[in-house]
């Protein structure tokens, strides 16, 4: 279990596991119910799009309601132009890792705000300028 003095920044794969039944659901729920977390709007969009495409509109409605109606649990980080430029620089520099823009944005936010990023994405875990952890491997 991740514990820190600040909230972790959550990737969409953690949120998706929280809302569907998969191998990591129980652990994702334990993490997200134990501590508030940071999100950005790109992660929210990625999560809801995945649920819409792979599951159902009901899952999307449930997920959106839980996230958006729980401001004490899910804190949204602002996105500004310098952050977008940093994200673009990461995505461009590490094009061989095939980071999506959302991945790059999470890495940039983690780096600039000194936050731990929780993800199951192995490529992101190899980025050394940000604290990135797989919470299911701790």
Instruction: Grade residue 3 by pLDDT with cuts at 50, 70 and 90.
Output: very low
Q: Comparing C-alpha atoms, which of 5, 2, 3 is closest to residue 114?
A: 5
| Other Cβ atoms closer than 10 A to 62 | 14
The phi-psi region of residue 119 (left if phi > 0; otherwise alpha if psi is between -120 and 50; otherwise beta) is beta
**Of residues 40 and 135, more confidently modeled:** 40
Mind listing the pLDDT tens digit for each residue in 37-96? 999 999 999 999 999 999 888 889 999 999 999 888 999 999 999 999 999 999 888 777
pLDDT at site 98: 74
Q: Is the confidence at residue 1, as pLDDT, over 60?
A: no
pLDDT at site 38: 95
User: Average pLDDT, whole number, for the chain?
Assistant: 87
pLDDT at site 136: 76
Pairing state of beta strands 9-10 and 117-118?
parallel
């Amino acid at each position: 279990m991740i514990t820190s003095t600040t909230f972790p920044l959550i990737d969409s794969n953690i949120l998706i596991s929280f809302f569907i039944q998969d191998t990591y659901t129980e652990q994702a729920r334990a993490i997200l119910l134990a501590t508030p977390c940071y999100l950005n709007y790109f992660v929210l969009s990625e999560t809801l799009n995945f649920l819409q495409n792979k599951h159902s509109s009901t899952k999307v409605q449930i997920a959106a309601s839980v996230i958006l109606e729980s401001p004490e649990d899910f804190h949204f980080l602002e996105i500004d132009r310098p952050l977008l430029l940093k994200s673009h620089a990461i995505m461009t520099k590490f094009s061989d890792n095939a980071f999506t823009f959302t991945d790059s944005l999470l890495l940039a936010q983690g780096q600039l705000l000194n936050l731990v990023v929780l993800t199951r994405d192995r490529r992101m875990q190899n980025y050394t300028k940000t604290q990135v952890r797989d919470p299911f491997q701790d």
